Amino acid sequence: MRYLITQSLLGAWLYQYEAYDPEAAHESFISTLRRESIRPSMAMLNGQKFENLVTAYCDGAPLDISHEWAHGIKGIGDRIKGGQFQVALYKDKTIDGINFLLYGRLDALKAGTISDIKYSDVYEVGKFSDSPQHPMYMDLCPEARQFEYLISNGSDVFVETYRRDECPQIDGTIRDFIRYLTDIGQLKTYFDLWKAREY
């Protein structure tokens, strides 16, 4: 049996350690672990809308220059235009005797660079340094040289880049995740609900 691991599951777990409201973050993580439907926040909806607009621009849709996000859409779109979009990747990995299936969907892959599109009203340098996303995706995509977060508030574009040698191995994060689930008595929940399908 293999168990699915995604960066979003790991991210929901790790967010508890930096959240302004750890109790709410823990409840959100448990909902994610239980695979419960969660009402998307305004930030999530804006992020999806912005990413869709960037992708449409890259596919040749005309850009409405009067749109409040036009500069951000063009700034990111021009950087990734010509790449592959929504690339789904899988990888089998055994850690401490447990068989995992790592899964990720890349926003864009171009010339050895994985790009992830983010919309954020506020950005601080190094915002994503502790994210499990770049270590996970670099493991999934061995041909990639670097990972970049492309962040925009609609007008400005910020780039946060991690070379392969700057990305920690995702194995350690997964080990810590399993240890945490064991400690809080939720390992069975994970094993029951995150069985991987064949692909």
Phi, psi of 91 (to 5 degrees): -155, 130
CA pair distance 88, 104, nearest whole angstrom: 6
Sequence-separated (6 or more) residues with CB below 8 Å from residue 56: none
Report d(CA 56, CA 77) in Å as an integer. Answer: 9
Question: What is the CB neighbour count within 10 angstroms for residue 198?
Answer: 5
Sequence spans of domains, the chain: 2-193
Q: Which helix (H) or strand (E) holds 159?
A: strand 157-163
CA angle 157–161–163, rounded 5-degree value: 165
Angle at 87 between CA 96 and CA 101, to 5 degrees: 15
Residues 6 or more apart whose Cβ sits within 8 Å of residue 6: 102, 103, 104, 136
CA dihedral sign, ordered 105, 36, 1, 11: positive
pTM of the model: 0.92
Instruction: List the chain pLDDT tens, one digit each, 199 residues.
Output: 999 999 999 999 999 998 899 999 999 999 999 999 888 889 899 999 999 999 999 999 999 999 999 999 999 999 999 999 999 999 999 999 999 999 999 999 999 999 999 999 989 998 999 999 999 999 999 999 999 999 999 999 999 999 999 999 999 999 999 999 999 999 999 999 999 987 5
CATH of domain 2-193: 3.90.320
3-class secondary-structure state, position 7: helix
**Strand positions, DSSP E, 61-121:** 84-95, 98-110, 113-119
Look up tokens 């670099």; give the residue. 138
